[in-house]
Amino acid sequence: MRDILLNVSIDCAIFGYVNGELKVLLIKRDKEPEYNEWSLPGGNIYIDENIDDAAHRLLNELTGMLNLFLSQVGLFGETNRYPDRRVISILYCALVKPEQFELIAGAHAKRIKWSKTNNLKKLPFDHNAMIAYSLKWLKDEIWRKPILVNLLPEKFPLNQMQDLYETFLQQTIDNRNFRKKVMVQGLVEKLNEKTIGGKQRPAFLYRLKENS
C-alpha cells in the first residue's frame, strides 16, 4: 500500500458552463470530517506521487472525469482550515462542458452534482473561499492561458471564441480588439480552412496552439 501525505491535500474547483450559466462540481462526502456534506472533490496525495498526477487521479476516482485541462491556481494553508490537524491544500480548477462527461461517484464521494455558483450554501473547510478565488483567477487569466479550451471544438471561427469570452466575462468586446488580443497572446493559429454552410459568409477556422 502506498503511503500518503496526511498534511498535504488537493482540492479541485471544476466549473461547468451550460447555456451561459456557471456551475461548480460538488461531491457528497462519505467520510469524516464533514461526513454527508457537499464539498469540492479532493483528497490527499501519495508520498511518491507528482502533484499534477494526483489532481487528475483524485478527480477521476471521485467523479469519473478524465483528460481535463487542469490549472494549479493557489495554495490554502490557514492553520484552522481543517479540524483535527494542519492540512495545506493545493487548489486546481478547470472550466468544462458538463454534457461531455459521465459522472460516476467513487472513492469517498456518495453523490455528485453541479451547483449554481451564485446560489451556494456554506461548504466545509474553506471551499467557498476556494471557489471565489478560482473564479477571480479564471477571469484574470482568461487572456493568457487556454482556460476555455474544453468549451471549444477542435476547430472554430474566431467569432465563436469571442461569443464564449463575452458570455463568460459578461461584457461586450470590440471585434477588432478581440482578434488582435488573441493573436498577440499566441493562443490560436489560423487554418487554411473555412466554415461551411450557414447564413453568414464563410469564415476562416482556427485551433488552439499546441504550445499554449
Asked whether residue 162 is assigned to any structural domain, the reply reads: yes
Q: What is the pLDDT of residue 198?
A: 65
Residue listed under C-alpha cell 453541479: 114
Instruction: Assign residue 118 the CATH number of its domain.
Output: 3.90.79.10
User: Around 162, how many Cα atoms within 13 Å sit in the side-chain half-sphere?
Assistant: 15
Residue 209, pLDDT score:
79
Whether residues 136 and 193 share a domain: the answer is: no
Does 23 lie in the same domain as 70? yes
Q: Confirm whether 147 is domain-assigned.
A: no
| Residue that wins the pLDDT comparison between 20 and 10 | 10
pLDDT of residue 185: 81
Predicted confidence at residue 26, as pLDDT, reads 97
Q: What is the mean pLDDT of the segment spanning 157-165?
A: 88
Q: What is the CA radius of gyration of the chain?
A: 19
pLDDT tens readout for residues 32-50: 999 999 999 999 999 999 9
Q: Which residue has the cell 494549479?
A: 72
The reply to whether 146 falls in a domain is no
Nine-digit cell at 162?
469571442
Instruction: Read off the pLDDT band of 183 (50, 70, 90).
Output: confident
pTM passes above 0.85: no
Same domain flag for 178 and 130: no
The whole-angstrom separation of Cα 25 and Cα 59 is 11
Same domain membership, residue 129 and residue 160: no
Note whether 14 and 68 are same-domain residues.
yes
User: What span, in angstroms and rounded, lies between the C-alpha atoms of 107 and 99?
Assistant: 22
Residue 69 has pLDDT above 90, yes or no: no
Domain range for 96 is 4-141
Identify whether residues 137 and 156 lie together within a single domain.
no
The domain boundary, picked from 141, 160, 187, lies at 141
Percent of the chain with pLDDT over 70: 98
Looking at the fold, whether 172 and 118 belong to one and the same domain comes out as no
- Of 83-97, 122-136, 152-166, give the lowest mean pLDDT range: 152-166
Same domain for 120 and 196: no
Q: How many angstroms separate the Cα of 81 from the Cα of each of 46, 84, 104, 132?
A: 21, 9, 28, 16
Residues 137 and 157 in one domain: no
Structural domain total, the chain: 2
Q: What is the pLDDT of residue 36?
A: 94
164 and 98 assigned to the same domain: no
* CA of residue 99 relative to chain centroid, distance: 14
Tell me whether residue 59 is exposed, middle or buried, using C-beta atoms within 10 angstroms of its C-beta: 0 to 12, 13 to 18, 19 or more: buried
DSSP string, 34-88: STT-EE-SEEEEETTS-HHHHHHHHHHHHH---S---EEEEEE--TTSSSSS--E
Same domain, 54 and 128: yes
Pick the residue with more confidence: 122 or 67?
Answer: 122
Round to whole Å and give the CA distance between 114 and 99: 11
